[in-house]
Amino acid sequence: MLITSTSAKFLKRKSSINLNGRLIDFSKPVVMGILNVTPDSFFDGGKYKTEKKVVKRAEEILEQGGTIIDIGAVSTQPGSDGVSTKDEIDRIIPAVKAVRKAFPEAVISIDTYRSWVAMKVIEDCGPCIVNDVSGGNFDVHMFETIGKLGVPYVLMHMQGTPIKMQDNPEYEDIIRDISMFFTDRVKKLNKAGVKDVIIDPGFGFGKTLEHNYELLNRLDSFKVFQLPVMVGVSRKSMIHKLLGQKPEDALNGTSVVNTLALMGGADLLRVHDVREAVEAVRIMEMVRSTSV
């Protein structure tokens, strides 16, 4: 039985994760900046083709207050069918190496659903958070690999695969269904020796517009897991389609939805626009500090 959000608020949530001895604190929400080294991502595809541009973007994320740099080399937008492991490796390792060289103290996350890619990047570049949009569904070796590597893992919910995930997704009860998924996967992760898990309900991944807003409205239900919750809604179709816009016009809508996510208990915002998300966090923290 799922504990209600009213009961869940009294549970103590995990307030940090450990990356190679470095604690990343979630006692107040933090921001993850997106750095896509892909030619086909829905918003920023093709912008960061050179090492110089990759480093410049990483610098921008850090200067604007981002805590984590999330580097991805495969687009998972609706309709995408992925790339080969070799192509992913060839894109992501040079990018991670460049960021690590320029900013040795930066916290890096790698956006991959392949265990071999995770292992190769971490062997070559050092410990990183692994952000897996498939929640372990695309690679049966992912959980055991993360356990052996001893790094934090972002467990995201996705219904279907990117190429077909928006073809009439259905749920009996979206919160219950996703909670059952998290319950099963967290148990398997713990069994595999994974100690630090962040959960992500997967906005836009196998969800209709209505599903996404129901998820947003009931986000605090996931407090029951006592784990940090990540939200990634940046410039997604749930915002720009609702408002009749293109992704490049959806910054204001993104800030509104990020703020609502913070109100619902999000601990980590994954965004393209770091400065604006950091400002939302600062305002929300001020509101909370003055509440009786």
Q: How far is CA 241 from CA 42, 232, 245, in A?
A: 13, 16, 6
Catalytic site residue from 101, 236, 246, 282:
236
195 is catalytic: no
Q: Are 59 and 102 in contact (CB under 8 A)?
A: yes
* Residue 193: count of CB within 10 angstroms of its CB: 13
Structure tokens at 113: 């659903």
Nearest residue to 63 via CA among 108, 98, 103: 103
Q: Is 9 a catalytic residue?
A: no
Bridge partners, residue 134, by sequence = none
- Give the position of tokens 């039985």: 1
Contact between 203 and 236 (Cβ < 8 Å): yes
> Do 68 and 107 contact (CB within 8 A), yes or no?
yes
Helix, strand, coil distribution of the chain in percent, nearest 5: 40, 15, 40
Burial classification of residue 82, based on how many CB atoms lie within 10 Å of its CB (0-12 exposed, 13-18 middle, 19 or more buried)? middle
Strand partners, 25: 16
Catalytic member of 270, 275, 282, 288: 270
The Cα 197–Cα 207 span in angstroms is: 23
| CA gap 186, 258 in Å, rounded | 25
Enumerate the active-site residues. Answer: 236, 270
